[in-house]
């Protein structure tokens, strides 16, 4: 049972500063599952290419989900693919995050109405942290989504939330 | 370079009854209709004949003609009965530079068409696609499985005009 | 060796770094030798054909973009050509020229991705990023013209959504002069690298007759040494007004039709495309680009099969119209779909690493394979 | 020697040895590994017209620390079908092999973990640990990619050991010693005393040796590249074919250990190459300490030169990695058996003849 | 006084402790949320087909064998390399003969093709002209 | 034999050529745009998030019909003849209350087809691309300036108006025709 599985009842200086350190390290080194689905994957590649350079944020593609922290669902999730995506997500080591990139993975996108083989939103199989709209989103939009995710991680807490 | 009339004449002479008709009234493209059980022989002839040499199959498409009449079943779902499923073959000869369109129709209840997968090898996948999406059975096809849809898809052939999508697939909700 | 090793079945994909998307290859191995390769596709089947039946003719265009998303402009081009044939309309000359310019830019962009990812497959990371860097410039040109980076909805039936941006011609010329030395650099870095040649030459040889029978087209067919290009051999638009060559595979580093040949065709084609762009920019006529767009598109009953030379090969549209504003049936013959069918034949007897090399050299896009 | 110093200070050999062994880990290898990972990312980025890590610290200087801290919090997945003992031992063994090699590398004239007479051979032998570790990792993972990667890796590393040893023998033939400290001491003075330029002295044979030595350097550098699985010989972890090779199933800290070992290994082989051919910790142009009469400055300068040379060769490894595609496994074996080994043989004989003159 | 190798033992012990310590220390922090799917073997998200633990290619043993021969011979060469200069040309020739034999063996292996990594010449796909008439069962 | 040395030479030579190129690029300034700090100027035809200038919207539903994705939903209710609904900036009189005008940006494919048919040019694409969200429901934008309460009110108003009109009509009809007939009609 590690620290990250625990929930402290009370806040204390040690807990919060440790939490800050851990959150900082997690948010600045989000390794990504090297995984592209469709059109958005090309924009994702463009984001890691020279002009936008994902590496600036510490994002590097790892091909094995075991070593990755973040999965960017970049494109249309079909029914055939959905079970695989679920498994790849499952096989990532905790803590892990999901960015849903583009209309298709947000809600089925242009294929929501007649797409008999399209999953209408990847959040039906895995929990999504950030939705990046666009079809495909500009690389900057993806980066902005990443910043939003970093913001979310920064606010994560080991302290039990009191309602 | 031969035009479609000349090709039709050659075929008619060779195969007679299997070649049903030549339709030239359409505004853009004309096509030759061929009996579905004879299509493989005709195609083999067209590929190997010295005058025709259709060595390339450009495209093979399955189409649900939806030319029957609409029937509502007890659940209110619309079904089309008595229509035909057709296969269109677009052939080309890279040597003589002529092209031709063939069409072969089979009734929807028993959509059996002879396979040309061993004549032009890439028809293999096209036919699998036509089976998968439209539901045309290709006789003597080496490996007629679904290709685009999951192998365990049970709800039928989605490009048929009266196709109904299932509610759930492997526990995932399908409609929006 | 008399002793046989057991066969091992290995899945490559759908999440695999070099299957270019969500392709799954089921590889049967004996040691490292391939016994058979079974491609499983459909992981990106987005029901294009069903959508096309539910949309009006102009509404299909955004979906057409999303098929071969690396060459969206060319997909639109092909679709527009097909529907115009069905409608029997003539489009203004300026529109044709702009279409050709855009199409050729798209060809360069698509080939850049093909070449770059091919380098990545072989293990060279830097050329990949160089290619994407140059592609970004082309994308900027597109973005300036129509506002989108990848999926343009720019070429419409009968015309274009926008006229060229006033700065376009200048920027395009700038790009042409910028890009020429980059091709040489890419050649030095990758194409003529000894390791790269060893990895690709004499690998995955595709004889011409087999290629034709398997329906291979485009750069892959030319790589097998057949001078066949729909832009010249079944000309459409205004391609007959330009002077350009069709590069064919000559087996410079090995046998005709090997991976290196197919790769090098793409490099050469980028140069040819630059030539076409230069000529088109010179001859660009004046005119209105939206004048020929029909108000309501309602083609007569009939059917058309029309094909264009997509960067990946022969892209055919088979459209059946029943006289309504929605197409009755649209069937797309995507070159990638056809090319993938020969994987098994090409890979037999090679090693695992060669599967990647072969797959990269036939340059598929899964969006087009599965539609 | 630092060992004697500590030994006197604490009056115990064991404590001295402990300190001696902890020092390189904490003052050298960990900082170096942190630096090298960041540096590799920076070098690759700038070669590709990018910037690399920028967001944490100055030009992303804290990036690796964040990475390590993050890997620290990552779940450790031990899949159900694997061979658990082997799976757990592999990262330990991998790191031990690498780290033990550092025991015999002279960081300066006063600091060496263990001044073995068989120094070079010890390093070569101990690097065989990594073969075992990789094989274990690959086998235990119950993963096809891992297994293929491990198999390739084993074949690759043991094959490339032969040219390495053959080149080392040529050095032994010229110098008559296997002790790395002695070897480094021999190359003192200026850079023309380095082995790559024929070693110390000014006889005719020195000049005759130069081409052979350059060839020998080329061979050993290529083989060491292969031994640490760097591009163009990175087929065991060939990303585009085998996902992540032998460490596909590893996550969290265990993966971090493989990572650390990889970078430490890069430095280890680089320093061996530097010690054999480029004077080890020796300065190329005399010591400032000698010049101004401060004797204690010399070891510090030596550490500097040692680091500089080591890092330079590590840089070349990175440079190659971001330039070249990777070889196929059969070509890899061909390169070794048909090119490097015969050439090393011929080189050996030529050097033997020259030294007789 | 520890011997030289004793010190190396200390080095090894330290590194073992370091690795195990680091992994155990991480255990204090890291979460542990195993699930059935997570503990499955990763194979690109697909079900694995068969075990990877199959009989592997003999080629690897051949390489290992050749390596072993070379390694043993090289071990014999080291003492020779250290001292041959004392015996002049004669000393060199003794080693030289040995090396020659080694080289001869290598040349033999080369000729025999044992150095070739198995790479059967792949045959380019040849077109089968005639369609087969064998009936293939159609899957419904 | 010559081939053997040629191979070695070509390998080394090409490797050096490659290394020269990459080394040169170490000193080429990076092309990277440091996004959150530097934002590039986007071209004026940029196609990102849609914006509806609601003052100009007449509720004609053209955009919703042009949309291939059907991510635009426009609900309208007729204004009362007595009400003044305001004018568009081009001086066209509005006749419909647009009770809701939602665009679901989680579905939108940014194809710009909705922009062209708009008669008042009130729907257009902007260059705002930074609008990622933690919740998908936040991606549904409602452009209508009417609050739900107002919308309800308008609907009720119109329903009442309709009812009144119908009643009036019925009364008129009842007055004009014999009651027996009227009951038959109903």
DSSP string covering C165-217, please?
PTTHHHHHHHHHHHHHHHHHHHIIIIIT-HHHHHHHTTSS---HHHHHHTT--
Q: Residue D224 in contact with residue D167, Cβ under 8 Å?
A: no
Q: What is the mean pLDDT of chain E?
A: 72
Instruction: Please answer yes or no on whether E11 and D122 come within 8 Å at the CB atom.
Output: no
Minimal Cα distance from A111: which residue of B?
B176
Q: Measured between CB atoms, which of D49, D54, D324 is closest to F25?
A: D49
Q: Which residues of E touch C343 (CB under 8 A)?
A: none
- Give A80→chain D minimum CA distance, Å: 22
Instruction: Please answer yes or no on whether C144 and F116 come within 8 Å at the CB atom.
Output: no
Q: Which residues of E touch A95 (CB under 8 A)?
A: 31
Burial label for D30, CB within 10 Å (0-12, 13-18, 19+), is middle
What's the average model confidence in pLDDT over E72-79? 78
The 8-class DSSP code of residue A118 comes to: B
Q: DSSP alpha helices (H): ranges in chain B?
A: 4-15, 39-48, 123-133
What's the average model confidence in pLDDT over E89-98? 78
Q: Which of C19, F101, F67 is nearest to A109 (CA)?
A: F67
Q: Which of C227, C307, C232 is nearest to C276 (CA)?
A: C232
Instruction: Please answer yes or no on whether F26 and D46 come within 8 Å at the CB atom.
Output: yes
Copy the structure tokens of residue D12: 């115990």
Residue A162 has pLDDT above 60, yes or no: no
Q: Which residues of E touch B137 (CB under 8 A)?
A: 138, 140
A–F interface: beta-carbon pairs under 8 A? 98
Residue A18 phi, psi dihedral angles, 5° rounding: -65, -45
Q: Does A7 touch chain B (CB under 8 A)?
A: no
**How confident is the model at residue E138, as a pLDDT?**
39
Domain ranges of chain D: 1-69, 74-356
Burial label for F59, CB within 10 Å (0-12, 13-18, 19+), is buried
Q: Which residue has the higher pLDDT, E96 or A44?
A: A44
Are chains C and F touching, using the cut-off of 8 Å on CB pairs and a minimum of 3 such pairs?
A: yes
Q: Residue B121 in contact with residue B58, Cβ under 8 Å?
A: no
Write the DSSP assignment of E89-134 as a string of letters: HHHHHHHHHHHHHHHHHHHHHHHHTTTSPP---PPPPPP--SPP--
Q: What is the mean pLDDT of chain D?
A: 80
Q: Which residue has the higher pLDDT, D108 or C132?
A: C132
For the segment B86-131, what is each residue's pLDDT rounded down to a tens digit? Answer: 888 888 888 888 888 888 888 888 888 888 888 888 888 888 888 8
pTM to 2 decimal places: 0.88
Instruction: Please answer yes or no on whether B149 and A80 come within 8 Å at the CB atom.
Output: yes
Q: By 3-state DSSP, what share of chain E in percent is helix, strand and coil, each rounded to 5?
A: 55, 0, 45
Minimal Cα distance from C150: which residue of A?
A136
Q: What is the mean pLDDT of chain C?
A: 85
Q: Residue B149 in contact with residue B155, Cβ under 8 Å?
A: no
Q: What is the mean pLDDT of chain F?
A: 81
Burial label for E60, CB within 10 Å (0-12, 13-18, 19+), is middle
Q: Tell me which chains share at least 3 CB pairs under 8 Å with chain B.
A: A, C, E
Q: Measured between CB atoms, which of A80, A108, A125 is closest to B176?
A: A108
Instruction: Please answer yes or no on whether E131 and B119 come within 8 Å at the CB atom.
Output: yes
Q: How far apart are the first and last CA of chain C?
A: 45
Burial label for E89, CB within 10 Å (0-12, 13-18, 19+), is exposed
Instruction: Please answer yes or no on whether D329 and C189 come within 8 Å at the CB atom.
Output: no
Residue F58 has pLDDT above 60, yes or no: yes
The 8-class DSSP code of residue B37 comes to: T
Minimal Cα distance from A39: which residue of F?
F109
Q: Which residues of A touch F133 (CB under 8 A)?
A: 130-131, 133, 148
**Mutate which of A73, A81, A87 to test chain E, going by most E C-beta atoms within 10 A?**
A87
Q: Which residue has the higher pLDDT, C240 or F84?
A: C240
Residues 6+ apart with CB under 8 A from C210: C342, C345, E124, E125, E126, E127
Q: Tell me which chains share at least 3 CB pairs under 8 Å with chain F.
A: A, C, D
Residue E133 has pLDDT above 50, yes or no: no
Instruction: Please answer yes or no on whether F133 and A133 come within 8 Å at the CB atom.
Output: yes
Minimal Cα distance from B142: which residue of E?
E136
For the segment F91-113, what is each residue's pLDDT rounded down to a tens digit? Answer: 777 777 788 888 888 888 888 88
Q: Does E49 touch chain C (CB under 8 A)?
A: yes
CA torsion angle for D34, D40, D41, D43 (degrees, to 10)?
140
For the segment D173-192, what is each residue's pLDDT rounded down to a tens digit? Answer: 888 777 877 777 777 777 77
Q: Does E35 touch chain A (CB under 8 A)?
A: yes
CB atoms within 10 A of CB D349: 18
Q: Which of D206-210, D292-296, E29-33, F57-61 is predicted least confidently?
A: D292-296
> What is d(CA E2, CA C214) in angstroms, rounded to the nearest whole number?
73
Helix (H) or strand (E) holding C7: strand C7-12
**How confident is the model at residue E2, as a pLDDT?**
63
Q: Which residue has the tokens 């087969």?
A: E132
Residue A99 phi, psi dihedral angles, 5° rounding: -110, 130
Write the DSSP assignment of D211-249 as a string of letters: HHHHHHHHHHHHHHHHHTT-TTS-GGG-HHHHTTGGGTT
Instruction: Please answer yes or no on whether C366 and A38 come within 8 Å at the CB atom.
Output: yes
What's the average model confidence in pLDDT over D73-88? 82
Compute and round to an integer the Cα radius of gyration of chain F.
31
Question: Which residues of chain C, if any, have pLDDT below 50?
Answer: 1-2
> What is d(CA C303, CA E20) in angstroms, rounded to the nearest whole number?
71
Q: Which residue has the higher pLDDT, C51 or D19?
A: C51
Minimal Cα distance from D230: which residue of C?
C123
**How confident is the model at residue E135, as a pLDDT?**
39
Q: Which of D130-144, D279-293, D301-315 is predicted least confidently?
A: D279-293
Q: Residue C48 in contact with residue A110, Cβ under 8 Å?
A: no
**How confident is the model at residue E52, as a pLDDT?**
66
When pLDDT is cut at 50, 70 and 90, the band that residue D2 belongs to is low
Q: Which of D274, D315, D281 is nearest to D301 (CA)?
A: D281
What's the average model confidence in pLDDT over D265-285? 82
Residue F137 has pLDDT above 70, yes or no: yes
Q: Tell me which chains share at least 3 CB pairs under 8 Å with chain E.
A: A, B, C, D
Instruction: Please answer yes or no on whether B40 and E131 come within 8 Å at the CB atom.
Output: yes
Q: Which residue has the tokens 């086998």?
A: D139
**How confident is the model at residue D95, as a pLDDT?**
84
Q: Which residue has the higher pLDDT, D356 or B153?
A: B153
> What is d(CA A127, CA A30) in angstroms, rounded to the nearest whole number?
17
Copy the structure tokens of residue C70: 């690396």
Q: Which residues of B touch C85 (CB under 8 A)?
A: 28
Helix axes D204-227, D252-277, angle to 10 degrees: 170
Q: Which of C231, C251, C229 is nearest to C241 (CA)?
A: C231
**How confident is the model at residue E121, as a pLDDT?**
67
> What is d(CA C81, CA C74) in angstroms, rounded to the nearest whole number?
10
**How confident is the model at residue C1, as a pLDDT?**
40
Are chains B and D touching, using the cut-off of 8 Å on CB pairs and a minimum of 3 such pairs?
A: no
Q: Which of C165-179, E124-138, F120-134 is predicted least confidently?
A: E124-138
Q: Which of B36-45, C36-45, E28-37 is predicted least confidently?
A: E28-37
The 8-class DSSP code of residue D338 comes to: I
Q: Residue E78 in contact with residue D348, Cβ under 8 Å?
A: no
Q: Which of B77-81, D90-94, D346-350 is predicted least confidently?
A: B77-81
For the segment D118-168, what is each residue's pLDDT rounded down to a tens digit? Answer: 778 788 888 778 888 888 888 888 888 888 888 878 888 888 888 888 888
Copy the structure tokens of residue B85: 């499923």
**Range C50-53, long-range pairs (CB < 8 A, 24+ positions):** C50/A114, C50/A115, C50/A116, C50/B158, C50/B159, C51/A110, C51/A111, C51/A114, C51/A115, C52/C327, C52/C329, C52/C330, C53/C326, C53/C327, C53/C328, C53/C329, C53/C330
Q: Residue C289 in contact with residue C101, Cβ under 8 Å?
A: no
Q: What's the angle, vertex CA F50, arms to CA F45 and CA F53, rounded to 5? A: 100
Domains of chain F (ranges; CATH) run: 50-166 (3.30.70.3270)
Instruction: Please answer yes or no on whether E37 and A66 come within 8 Å at the CB atom.
Output: no
Q: Which residue has the higher pLDDT, D208 or C39?
A: C39
Which residues lie across from C157 on neighbouring strands?
Answer: none
Burial label for F147, CB within 10 Å (0-12, 13-18, 19+), is exposed
Residues 6+ apart with CB under 8 A from B138: B112, B113, B114, B115, B117, B127, B130, B131, B144, E138
- Exposure class string for A95-112: b at 16+ Cβ within 10 A, else e: bbbbbbbbbbbbbbbbbb
**How confident is the model at residue A4, as a pLDDT?**
67
């Amino acid at each position: 049972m590690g620290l990250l599985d625990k929930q402290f009842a009370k806040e204390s200086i040690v807990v919060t500063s440790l939490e800050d350190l851990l959150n900082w390290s997690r948010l600045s080194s989000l390794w990504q599952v090297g995984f592209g689905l469709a059109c958005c994957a090309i924009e994702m590649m463009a984001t890691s290419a020279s002009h936008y350079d994902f590496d600036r944020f510490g994002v590097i593609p790892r091909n094995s989900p075991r070593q990755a922290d973040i999965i960017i669902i970049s494109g249309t999730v079909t029914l055939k693919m959905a079970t695989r995506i679920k498994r790849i997500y499952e096989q990532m080591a905790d803590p892990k995050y999901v960015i849903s990139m583009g209309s298709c993975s947000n809600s089925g996108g242009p294929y929501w109405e007649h797409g008999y083989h399209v999953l209408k939103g990847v959040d039906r199989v895995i929990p999504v942290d950030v939705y990046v709209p666009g079809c495909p989103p500009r690389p900057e939009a993806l980066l902005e989504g990443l910043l939003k995710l970093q913001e979310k991680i920064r606010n994560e807490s080991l302290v039990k939330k009191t309602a | 370079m031969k035009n479609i009339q000349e090709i039709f004449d050659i075929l008619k002479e060779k195969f007679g009854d299997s070649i049903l008709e030549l339709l030239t009234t359409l505004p853009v493209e004309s096509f030759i209709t061929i009996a579905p059980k004879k299509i493989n022989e005709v195609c083999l002839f067209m590929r190997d004949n010295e005058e025709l040499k259709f060595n390339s199959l450009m495209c093979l498409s399955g189409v649900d003609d939806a030319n029957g009449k609409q029937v509502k079943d007890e659940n209110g779902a619309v079904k089309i009965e008595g229509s035909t499923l057709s296969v269109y073959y677009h052939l080309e000869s890279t040597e003589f530079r002529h092209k031709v369109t063939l069409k072969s129709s089979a009734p929807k209840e028993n959509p059996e068409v002879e396979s040309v997968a061993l004549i032009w090898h890439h028809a293999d996948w096209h036919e699998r696609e036509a089976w998968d999406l439209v539901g045309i059975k290709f006789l003597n096809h080496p490996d007629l499985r679904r290709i685009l849809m999951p192998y365990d898809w049970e709800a039928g052939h989605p490009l048929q005009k009266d196709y109904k999508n299932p509610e759930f697939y492997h526990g995932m909700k399908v409609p929006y | 060796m008399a002793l046989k090793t057991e066969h091992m079945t290995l899945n490559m994909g759908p999440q695999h770094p070099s299957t270019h998307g969500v392709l799954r290859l089921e590889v049967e191995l004996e040691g490292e030798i391939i016994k058979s390769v079974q491609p499983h596709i459909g992981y990106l089947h987005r029901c294009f054909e069903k959508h096309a039946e539910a949309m009006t003719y102009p509404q299909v265009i955004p979906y057409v973009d999303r098929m071969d998303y690396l060459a969206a402009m060319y997909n639109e081009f092909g679709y527009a050509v097909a529907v115009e044939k069905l409608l029997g309309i003539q489009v203004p000359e300026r529109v044709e020229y702009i279409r050709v310019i855009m199409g050729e830019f798209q060809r360069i962009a698509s080939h850049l991705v093909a070449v770059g990812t091919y380098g990545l497959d072989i293990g060279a990371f830097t050329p990949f990023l160089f290619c994407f860097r140059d592609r970004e410039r082309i994308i900027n040109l597109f973005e300036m013209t129509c506002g989108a980076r990848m999926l343009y909805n720019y070429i419409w039936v009968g015309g274009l959504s926008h006229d060229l941006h006033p700065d376009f011609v200048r920027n395009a010329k700038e790009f042409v002069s910028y890009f020429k030395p980059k091709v040489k650099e890419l050649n030095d870095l990758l194409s003529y690298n000894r390791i790269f040649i060893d990895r690709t030459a004499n690998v995955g040889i595709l004889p011409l007759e087999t290629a034709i029978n398997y329906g291979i087209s485009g750069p892959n067919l030319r790589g097998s040494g057949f001078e066949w290009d729909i832009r010249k051999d079944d000309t459409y638009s205004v391609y007959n007004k330009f002077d350009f060559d069709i590069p064919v595979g000559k087996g410079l580093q090995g046998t005709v039709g090997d991976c290196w040949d197919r790769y090098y065709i793409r490099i050469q084609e980028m140069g040819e495309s630059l030539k076409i762009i230069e000529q088109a920019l010179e001859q660009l006529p004046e005119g209105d680009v939206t004048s020929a767009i029909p108000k309501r598109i309602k083609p007569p009953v009939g059917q058309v099969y029309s094909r264009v030379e997509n960067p990946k090969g022969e892209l055919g549209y088979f459209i059946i119209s029943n006289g309504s504003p929605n197409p009755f049936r649209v069937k797309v013959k995507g070159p990638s779909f056809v090319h993938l069918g020969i994987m098994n034949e090409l890979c037999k007897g090679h090693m695992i690493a060669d599967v990647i090399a072969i797959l990269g050299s036939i340059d598929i896009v899964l969006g087009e394979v599965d539609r | 020697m630092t060992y004697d110093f500590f030994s006197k200070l604490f009056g115990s050999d064991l404590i001295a040895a402990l300190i001696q062994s902890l020092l390189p880990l904490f003052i050298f290898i960990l900082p170096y590994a942190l630096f090298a990972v960041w540096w590799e990312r920076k070098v690759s980025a700038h070669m590709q017209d990018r910037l690399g890590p920028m967001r944490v610290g100055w030009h992303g200087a804290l990036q690796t620390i964040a990475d390590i801290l993050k890997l620290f919090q990552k779940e450790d997945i031990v899949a159900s079908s694997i061979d658990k003992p082997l799976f757990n031992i592999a990262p330990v063994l991998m790191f031990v092999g690498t780290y033990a090699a550092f025991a015999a590398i002279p960081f300066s004239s006063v600091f060496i973990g263990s001044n073995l007479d068989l120094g070079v051979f010890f390093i070569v032998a101990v690097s065989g640990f990594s073969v075992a570790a990789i094989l274990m990792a690959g086998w235990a993972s119950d993963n096809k990619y891992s297994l293929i990667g491990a198999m390739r890796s084993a074949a690759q590393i043991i094959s490339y050991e032969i040219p390495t040893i053959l080149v080392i023998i040529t050095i032994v033939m010229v110098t008559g010693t296997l002790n790395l400290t002695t070897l480094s001491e021999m190359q003192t003075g200026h850079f023309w005393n380095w082995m790559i330029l024929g070693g110390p002295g000014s006889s005719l044979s020195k000049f005759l040796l130069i081409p052979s030595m350059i060839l020998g350097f080329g061979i050993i550098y290529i083989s060491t590249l292969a031994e640490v699985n760097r591009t163009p010989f990175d087929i065991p972890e060939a990303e585009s074919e085998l996902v992540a090779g032998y460490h596909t199933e590893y996550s969290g800290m265990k993966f971090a250990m493989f990572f650390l070992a990889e970078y430490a290994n890069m430095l280890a082989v680089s320093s061996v190459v530097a010690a054999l051919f480029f004077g080890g910790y020796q300065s190329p142009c005399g010591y400032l300490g000698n010049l101004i009469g401060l004797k204690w400055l010399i070891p510090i300068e030596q550490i500097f030169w040692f680091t500089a040379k080591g890092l330079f060769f590590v840089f070349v490894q990175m440079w190659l990695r971001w330039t070249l595609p990777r070889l196929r496994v059969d070509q890899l074996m061909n390169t070794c058996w048909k090119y490097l080994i015969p050439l090393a043989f011929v080189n050996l004989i030529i050097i033997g003849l020259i030294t007789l003159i | 006084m520890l011997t030289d190798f004793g010190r190396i033992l200390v080095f090894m012990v330290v590194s073992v402790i370091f690795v195990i310590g680091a992994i155990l220390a991480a255990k204090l922090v890291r979460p542990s949320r195993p699930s059935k799917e997570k503990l499955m073997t990763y194979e690109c998200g697909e079900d694995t087909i068969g075990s990877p633990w199959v009989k592997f290619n003999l080629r690897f043993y051949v390489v290992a064998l050749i390596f072993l021969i070379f390694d043993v011979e090289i071990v014999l060469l080291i003492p020779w390399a250290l001292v041959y200069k004392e015996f002049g040309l004669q000393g060199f020739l003794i080693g030289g003969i040995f090396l020659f034999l080694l080289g001869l063996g290598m040349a033999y292996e080369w000729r025999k093709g044992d150095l070739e990594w198995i790479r059967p010449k792949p045959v380019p796909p040849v077109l089968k002209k005639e369609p087969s008439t064998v009936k293939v069962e159609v899957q419904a | 034999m010559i081939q053997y040395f040629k191979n070695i030479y070509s390998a080394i030579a090409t490797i050096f050529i490659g290394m020269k190129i990459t080394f040169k690029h170490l000193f080429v300034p990076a092309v990277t745009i440091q996004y959150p700090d530097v934002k590039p100027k986007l071209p004026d035809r940029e196609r990102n998030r849609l914006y509806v200038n609601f003052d100009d919207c007449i509720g004609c539903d053209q955009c919703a019909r042009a949309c291939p994705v059907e991510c635009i939903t426009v609900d309208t209710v007729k204004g009362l003849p007595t009400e003044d609904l305001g004018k568009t900036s081009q001086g066209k009189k509005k006749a419909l209350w647009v009770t809701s005008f939602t665009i679901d940006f989680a579905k939108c494919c940014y194809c710009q087809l909705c922009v062209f048919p708009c008669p008042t040019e009130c729907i257009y694409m902007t260059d705002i691309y930074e609008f990622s969200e933690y919740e998908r429901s936040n991606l549904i934008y409602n452009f209508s300036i009417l609050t739900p309460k107002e919308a309800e009110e308008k609907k009720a108003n119109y329903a009442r108006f309709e009812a009144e009109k119908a009643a009036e009509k019925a009364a008129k009809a009842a007055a004009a025709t014999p009651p027996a007939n009227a009951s038959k009609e109903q």
